């Protein structure tokens, strides 16, 4: 076979090979039991439903859910650097603070932790969204200061905010387990629908 013909056939064969799929970008979710799927099957939790929605919409993202039941902002902050290095996320969703509030931990400490997590995530090249929480009214002024902390951080850092992660289900007891704290499986799609409008612009 002539060298020129052989070369042409080789090039043609290369052009016919399928291109390797590009690696999906990662959305890192670092939260507590509300995102870890406490009391329900892991695949029912809203972060897993998010992963399925991304696939259905053919968006080139996958979800790494590093949420742990009982996690505080201090715990999340201590784990974040390792998570950023391991996953190299394009987007980080910080859904922490509920356990700080329920334990009555100093709000200045919570704010410092959340600010540090936002800064570290951005320094790694990721976009950031923050999910806020609320406390029962029996926490008094502390509850008011607690919920205001998320809005103040989001404004100061110019960070997209889901004002209250459980907003679509909070007023309906049927969406909660017997402890009245953790959402049931039926609540998870509603939580995802609530988070989605804040998250979607970060995927563009």
Which residues are catalytic, by number? 33, 179, 182
3-state SS class at 78: helix
Distance in angstroms (rounded) separating the CA atoms of residues 16 and 21: 15
E strand segments, the chain? 25-31, 61-65, 91-95, 127-131, 161-162
E strand segments, 19-68? 25-31, 61-65
Reading the block at residue 59, the tokens are 């968006």
Distance in angstroms (rounded) separating the CA atoms of residues 26 and 35: 17
């Amino acid at each position: 076979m002539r060298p020129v013909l052989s070369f042409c056939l080789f090039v043609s064969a290369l052009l016919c090979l399928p291109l390797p799929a590009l690696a999906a970008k990662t959305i890192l979710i670092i939260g507590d039991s509300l995102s870890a799927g406490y009391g329900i099957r892991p695949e029912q939790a809203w972060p897993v439903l998010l992963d399925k929605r991304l696939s259905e919409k053919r968006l080139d993202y996958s979800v790494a859910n590093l949420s742990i039941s009982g996690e505080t902002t201090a715990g999340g902050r201590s784990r974040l650097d390792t998570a950023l290095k391991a996953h190299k996320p394009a987007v980080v969703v910080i859904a922490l603070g509920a356990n700080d509030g329920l334990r009555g931990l100093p709000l200045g400490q919570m704010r410092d932790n959340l600010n540090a997590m936002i800064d570290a995530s951005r320094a790694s090249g990721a976009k950031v969204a923050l999910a806020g929480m609320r406390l029962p009214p029996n926490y008094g002024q502390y509850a008011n200061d607690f919920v205001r902390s998320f809005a103040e951080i989001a404004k100061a850092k110019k960070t997209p905010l889901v004002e209250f992660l459980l907003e679509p289900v909070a007023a309906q007891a049927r969406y909660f387990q017997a402890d009245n704290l953790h959402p049931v499986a039926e609540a998870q799609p509603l939580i995802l629908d609530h988070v989605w409008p804040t998250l979607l612009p970060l995927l563009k």
